Structure 1
Amino acid sequence: MKKAARDPIVREHVAYLRLRNRRPVTIRSRARLLDALFDYLGKPLLHATEDDLERWQNSLRVTASSLGTYTTHARAFYTWAYERDLTDTNLARALVVPRVPRRQPRPISEKDLSTALLCSTNNPQLRMWLILAAYCGLRAGEVAAINRSDVRIADDGGAFLLVHGKGGNERVVRMPPMVLAELKSFLRSNGPLFRRPSGTPWPADQLSRQVSIFFGSIGMDWTLHCLRHRYAARLVDIGADVRDVQALLGHASLSTTTVYLSQATRHAASSVDLLSNEMKTPTLQTA
């Protein structure tokens, strides 16, 4: 049974988001954020002041990335309220969206990936999440969003997967035959492939958290996203064109993908060292 929003205005805002055909994961994230903000304020969201919202933002003890996400949701809600004359001013206009520094990729090691896959054999659903991230490059939200109709089986034993990516962008990725073989037991019914014990689809954040808990239970500090990093780094290592990698990852900007070239630079270190062996050491000529 769905929990009702704590402030009636949230239901109105959610209806607007659905009318705009926003992604379900975006709607759920927005509603959860607004419920949490309502709890912090202790009064209706439209009764907040700019000072209230600044105090709320300053009270958050999360990463810069999460802070940016929460702030963006709050700004979007209050901009919507202002445009509909529900408030006299745009209350969130003073909220600053933090600049998030680009993080270097942290791909899981091949040894730890093998160990994780072995340790997950008793949990087929979680094991499949690991495989889809490590061998198809999917994000947690993209794994959670897979429906049976998104999997198109090919004649060569593999398949092609329609991925519902960030910002409503879709892409098609190759699913190798070995990955499809692992997935086949999940293709017997229509609808979402991965469901909680209650039968409802996994929310992306909970799916990601389950993977992090699993890694912690086997003494590792990896996340599901580290397996996506591994996918990209391995593609670069074996010579895939960086623009092909960009398309497979669903990156809007090529500059986001080129961070994986640093992995190729590391692997090429021995070749660079060999090249320098050709350098002749100058010697002093004696008269």
Structure 2
Amino acid sequence: MAEAGDRELREVVAAYVDHLVVERGTARNTVDGYARDLRRYLAHLADAGVSGVRQIGPDHVVGFAVALRRGGADRPPLAPSSAARALSAVRGLHRFAHAEGWTETDPAREVRPPSPARRLPKALPVPDVVRLLDVPAGEDARALRDRALLELLYSTGARISEATGLDVDDVDHAERTVVLDGKGGRQRLVPVGRPALAALDAYLVRARPALAAKGRGTGAVFLNARGGRLSRQGAWQVLKAAAERAGISAAVSPHTLRHSFATHLLEGGADVRVVQELLGHASVTTTQVYTLVTVNTLREVYATSHPRALG
């Protein structure tokens, strides 16, 4: 009977794989990956003494998910992304088996794949940020613009798209604030530090008028060489070029100065809810990923400084 049950399980898996190929048109690499995952699943069921598809319950699916992460004597644990893919294959198999009448219920319906691990934002150390901000040297229009852009990004934590979307009327020099248009049409008022405001004033007075004269008239703060609004890609190139000239070896992304802004505020003692407002996050849980960075820093300092940290 066990052999008959095993054969039935293999038939269900084979039918599901055919379904993926023929009816769903799933990519070959994905199908091959699912097939490997399902072979692993069948081995897990065999170890659990399951001999038929109707015997599989939610506990078996959960047990498989746990086994994926723990590994075994002859199987190393899977990375979170690989475990999530394997569980997705199992969920698809049971959804198919239920829809095709092989089973009366779907035992995997309530089993959710593990949440992907949150990647910690990459923030630059303060000395690296200072070196990067000092890179655009000179008094020509491009250098003044680039310095103002980089200073503003770090001073406000603005996304690059928010900085390039900034209009002249959005800057309040007297109050030292800017109005940023964030995601979902949400606006927020953010303070601007004195160095950033000085760089912005220098650009607006001594460089922007000459750039604007080449264009057709736009209210944008940051302009390109043709007098139009600087694009997000153009601003990203400014940041990337400045990082290269500053000799920064760490990977730099469009969000690098935003991440640095948030991390340095929290390391300086800022409340996470204040940082949430400054970043324009709808939920504080989005901001709290930065607290993981500061906790890791605290651990490193503790481990290298406390005389009994390793005891």
CA distance in 2, matches of 1:161, 1:217: 28
Q: Which runs of 5+ in 2 are unaligned?
A: 1-23, 31-114, 210-217
Partner of 2:193: 176
RMSD: 3.3
Cα offsets for 1:93-124 (capped at 9, x unmatched): xxxxxx98643110112222222222212312
Partner of 2:119: 103
Q: CA deviation at 1:256?
A: 1.1
Letter in 2 for 1:207: A
1:191 aligned to 192, 206, 219, which one? Answer: 219
Letter in 2 for 1:248: L
CA distance in 1, matches of 2:184, 2:240: 24
Partner of 2:231: 203
Relative to structure 1, the CA distance from residue 274 to residue 169 in structure 2 (aligned partners, 3 Å threshold; closer, same or farther) is same
Letter in 1 for 2:133: L
1:113 aligned to 121, 129, 152, which one? Answer: 129
**Partner SS, residue 236 of structure 1:** helix
Note if contact 1:136-1:175 (Cα within 8 Å) is conserved in structure 2: yes
**Partner SS, residue 190 of structure 2:** strand
Partner of 1:240: 270
The alignment status of 1:147 with 2:167, answered yes or no, reads yes
**Partner SS, residue 219 of structure 2:** coil
2:152 aligned to 122, 132, 135, which one? Answer: 132
The alignment status of 1:262 with 2:262, answered yes or no, reads no
Relative to structure 1, the CA distance from residue 276 to residue 116 in structure 2 (aligned partners, 3 Å threshold; closer, same or farther) is closer
Q: CA deviation at 1:229?
A: 0.7
CA distance in 1, matches of 2:235, 2:197: 20
Letter in 1 for 2:283: S
Q: Which runs of 5+ in 1 are unaligned?
A: 1-50, 59-98, 282-287
Cα offsets for 1:173-225 (capped at 9, x unmatched): 01122321121123446821111110000111232133223323444342341
TM-score (norm 2): 0.52
Note if contact 1:128-1:183 (Cα within 8 Å) is conserved in structure 2: yes
CA distance in 2, matches of 1:216, 1:105: 20
Partner of 1:164: 181
Q: CA deviation at 1:172?
A: 0.6
**Partner SS, residue 129 of structure 1:** helix
Q: For 1:44-83, what aligned pairs fall within 5 Å after superposition?
A: none
Partner of 1:89: none
CA distance in 2, matches of 1:255, 1:174: 23
Letter in 1 for 2:224: R
Letter in 1 for 2:281: H
CA distance in 2, matches of 1:153, 1:174: 10
Bigger radius of gyration among the two = 2
Relative to structure 1, the CA distance from residue 161 to residue 266 in structure 2 (aligned partners, 3 Å threshold; closer, same or farther) is same
Note if contact 2:180-2:190 (Cα within 8 Å) is conserved in structure 1: yes
Letter in 2 for 1:170: Q
**Partner SS, residue 119 of structure 1:** coil
Partner of 2:215: none
Cα offsets for 1:59-117 (capped at 9, x unmatched): xxxxxxxxxxxxxxxxxxxxxxxxxxxxxxxxxxxxxxxx9864311011222222222
Partner of 1:61: none
The alignment status of 1:214 with 2:242, answered yes or no, reads yes
Q: CA deviation at 1:274?
A: 7.5
CA distance in 1, matches of 2:253, 2:230: 17
Cα offsets for 1:122-172 (capped at 9, x unmatched): 312112221112221111101101111111133xxx501101112221111
Q: CA deviation at 1:254?
A: 1.3
Aligned residues: 185
TM-score (norm 1): 0.56
